[in-house]
């Protein structure tokens, strides 16, 4: 496994914390499902994983990973290994596939004005791929240490529904009372499911209010 000091994007000289404004979009679904987060730049990718689970209302019982491409070496894809519960059955060979563990890497070690996007994959079966984009950077006096979900649209798909393609089929069947699977799927999701109502907690803030509250932008 590659150690952090050898990663090309590790920035050991960045000491002062900042606030990162991230927009996270669930890929391959229309209309888009997205969330906007404010998070300390000194948080680890493990902390970001938990923030994404909370913000998208995932259940956190599937494997996940982060990955990104180094701008100067676009064919080199760096994979960040998850820290999983000890009782979870994981193929040990996955360790050879990753470059570094998520609790050993801070967001500021990767995100910068030169590298603004990282991907997050949740559930290696359904393949829920999230595109994380760094939108803005604000100063942080050290008091902002965690994260806030400050915006978003549409609810998260049900777990184990078959990925983006399966989710679109699920919505189609639930909207059509004559669909042969309609009743079974309505029962499976618990009787009702509104794709437009976000279930996860949120502190709504417009981009203008975010700038007014945490600005100026760096």
- The domain made up of 4-155+196-214 has a fold known as 3.10.290
CA distance 217 to 210: 10
Question: What residues does each domain of the chain span?
Answer: 4-155+196-214, 156-195
Q: pTM of the predicted model, to two decimals?
A: 0.88
CA 143 to chain centre: 23
Q: What is the pLDDT along the chain (218 residues), one digit of tens a residue?
A: 444 444 555 555 467 899 999 999 999 999 999 999 999 999 999 999 999 999 999 999 899 999 998 777 777 888 888 876 544 555 555 555 667 889 989 999 899 888 899 999 999 999 999 999 999 999 998 888 889 999 999 999 999 999 999 899 888 888 877 888 778 777 787 777 888 988 888 999 999 999 999 999 99
Residue-by-residue DSSP string for 91-111: -GGGGGG-SEEGGG-BGGGT-
CA distance 30 to 12: 39
CA distance 184 to 170: 11
């Amino acid at each position: 496994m590659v150690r952090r000091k050898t990663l090309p994007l590790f920035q050991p000289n960045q000491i002062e914390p900042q606030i990162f404004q991230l927009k996270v979009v669930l890929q391959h679904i229309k209309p888009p499902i997205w969330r906007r987060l404010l998070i300390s730049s000194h948080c680890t990718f493990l902390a970001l994983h938990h923030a994404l689970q909370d913000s998208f209302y995932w259940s956190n019982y599937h494997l996940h990973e982060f990955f990104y491409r180094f701008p100067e070496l676009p064919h080199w894809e760096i994979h960040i290994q998850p820290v999983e519960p000890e009782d979870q059955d994981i193929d040990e060979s996955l360790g050879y596939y990753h470059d570094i563990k998520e609790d050993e890497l801070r967001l500021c070690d990767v995100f910068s004005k030169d590298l603004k996007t990282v991907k997050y994959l949740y559930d290696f079966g359904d393949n829920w791929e999230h595109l994380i984009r760094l939108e803005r950077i604000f100063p942080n006096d050290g008091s902002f240490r965690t994260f806030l979900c400050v915006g978003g649209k549409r609810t998260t798909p049900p777990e184990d529904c078959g990925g983006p393609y399966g989710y679109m089929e699920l919505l189609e069947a639930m909207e059509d009372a004559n669909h042969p699977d309609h009743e079974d799927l309505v029962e499976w999701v618990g009787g009702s499911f509104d794709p437009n109502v976000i279930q996860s907690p949120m502190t709504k803030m417009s981009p203008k209010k975010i700038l007014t509250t945490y600005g100026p932008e760096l």
